[in-house]
């Protein structure tokens, strides 16, 4: 079964591949920048639709890839922060993820610094709602290690 979601900006197709994975493909209605047009994901269709509402079709796959493969976020974290501080020093502390968007960086921080409380904040309520859904997908729904406001 293939699900197509569309509006005047373009069409997003979610095609099940088996093993809980899907291929997401985007076709824009007008010529516009689109960093990634297609990706594979374990995100359920409801989460993909939530991210589509927040990010729009042009940046949907980029958001999915950032969330599922945090290597670029972790590379930046290693360079920008861990050059100065050991990861063990974050244990029992809070990290503020200001302008957390849909939560990709918050999830990367939680995966990297397991003994840390991450506080993600964003001015857009729709971004926070999407970040909550992403957190629930990864099992970070409890307030003990993650706060999203």
Per-residue model confidence as pLDDT tens digits over 30-53: 888 889 999 999 999 999 999 999
- Domain endpoint, select from 68, 97, 118: 68
Co-location of 126 and 85 in the same domain? yes
Q: To 5 degrees, how large is the angle CA 67–CA 19–CA 51?
A: 30
- 8 C-beta neighbours (distance < 10 Å), count: 6
Compute the distance between CA of residue 136 and CA of residue 48 in angstroms, rounded to an integer. 13
Q: How many domains does the chain have?
A: 2
Structural domain of 97 = 71-148
Co-location of 128 and 111 in the same domain? yes
What CATH number does residue 140 fall under? Answer: 3.40.50.150
Co-location of 56 and 78 in the same domain? no
User: pTM to 2 decimals?
Assistant: 0.85
Co-location of 140 and 82 in the same domain? yes
Per-residue model confidence as pLDDT tens digits over 82-111: 788 887 888 899 999 999 999 999 998 888
């Amino acid at each position: 079964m293939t699900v197509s979601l569309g509006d005047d900006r373009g069409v997003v197709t979610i095609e099940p591949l088996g093993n809980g994975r899907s291929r997401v493909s985007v076709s824009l209605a007008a010529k516009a920048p689109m960093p990634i047009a297609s990706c594979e994901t374990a995100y359920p269709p409801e989460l993909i639709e939530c991210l589509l509402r927040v990010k729009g079709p042009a940046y949907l796959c980029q958001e999915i890839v950032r969330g599922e493969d945090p290597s670029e976020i972790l590379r930046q974290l290693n360079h920008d922060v861990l050059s100065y501080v050991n990861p063990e020093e974050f244990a029992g502390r809070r990290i503020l993820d200001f302008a957390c968007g849909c939560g990709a960086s918050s999830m990367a921080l939680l995966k990297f610094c397991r003994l840390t409380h991450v506080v993600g904040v964003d001015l857009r309520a729709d971004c926070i709602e999407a970040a909550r859904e992403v957190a629930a997908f990864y099992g970070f729904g409890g307030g003990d290690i993650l706060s999203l406001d």
